Amino acid sequence: MVDHNGRVVSGLTASDFRIYDNGQPRKIAHFGADAEPLDLLLLLDVSGSMHKNLEQMAATARAALKQLYPSDRVGVMLFARRAEIREPLTRDFRAVEEGMREAIRTEALGSGTAINSSIVSAAEYFEKEPVRGRRAVLIVTDNLSLNYRLPDEEVIRHLYSGDAVLNGILIGRQKRPDPPKPGRYVNPDFTPSDVFKLAEQSGGEAVEAGKIGESFQHMIERIRARYSIQYEAPPSEPGAFHQIQVQLTPEARARHRVAGVHARAGYYAVR
């Protein structure tokens, strides 16, 4: 929930929201704000073009991570052609800083930038972890790659399964992939990366990095301040997709006329 300046709107309560599942209103069963613990996985692109940006980001890590609470945990996953955990989720933020500094010297993950598969790896990591609060992935990349036989829809499924929100800091001037031109053949095995789309559908956001250090601190602040809303899902066929809509009540909208709500697009019923 952000205003027109991109600042998080604080002080809202459950009574300020309405939630719909496949168009039907649902009663909010749990509403949480910044008191809930956060598990944050930093997903860092260590391909050659990213080294300078990662160095600048690591230099500001201590200030950025100071915004987190003692109950929060942070992990570091690195990726290029493949992904690996460098620092498991921990409350030891100094170890996280060291993991970020070590990222610059990592050369064992192959050449290339496999964005979609790395996000899947991050989601699978969360799938194996007990749920204890909110979960977020923060990917830092230039958003330049082709994904082989791993479409966005499958990535979203994994993020939903891991109950993780994707956020992104994107390096350089960004442009969303152009839609296929009519009559032109497009190989369905190869799809361009679109972190903007994946973040939006999971309930997060992606931003272009200005000064990478400032962007890192700003994004940590926004992730930490988000609301958590839960409701009882209606009966459903296993695997069916349910669309979620989260809206402000008319009274809350009158107080925050230009605010925007970021929420996940839906979920797949448990099989």
The answer on pLDDT for 6 being more than 90 is: no
User: How far apart (Å, rounded) are the C-alpha atoms in residues 22 and 31?
Assistant: 20
Q: Can you give the pLDDT at residue 185?
A: 84
The answer on pLDDT for 114 being more than 70 is: yes
Token pair belonging to 164: 């993780």
User: How far apart (Å, rounded) are the C-alpha atoms in residues 22 and 20?
Assistant: 6
Q: Can you give the pLDDT at residue 4?
A: 63
Closest CA to 140 of 201, 64, 59, 219: 219
Structural domains in the chain, CATH included, are 14-32+230-268 (no CATH), 38-224 (3.40.50.410)
Q: Can you give the pLDDT at residue 161?
A: 95
For the stretch 42-92, pLDDT in tens is 999 998 889 899 999 999 999 999 999 999 999 999 999 999 999 999 999
Q: What is the mean pLDDT of residues 122-149?
A: 95
* pTM attached to this predicted model: 0.94
Higher pLDDT, 107 or 222: 222
The answer on pLDDT for 265 being more than 90 is: yes
Residues 6 or more apart whose Cβ sits within 8 Å of residue 80: 45, 46, 47, 106, 109, 110, 111, 112, 113, 114
The answer on pLDDT for 193 being more than 90 is: yes
Token pair belonging to 156: 């979203």
Q: How far is CA 27 from CA 68, 117, 226, 229, 234, in A?
A: 30, 36, 20, 10, 11
User: How far apart (Å, rounded) are the C-alpha atoms in residues 138 and 165?
Assistant: 9
Q: Can you give the pLDDT at residue 219?
A: 95
Tokens 């929060």 locate to 72
The answer on pLDDT for 7 being more than 80 is: no
Per DSSP bridges, beta strands 228-231 and 28-32 are: antiparallel
Give 225-257 as a DSSP string: T--EEEEPPPP--TT-EEEEEEEE-HHHHHHST
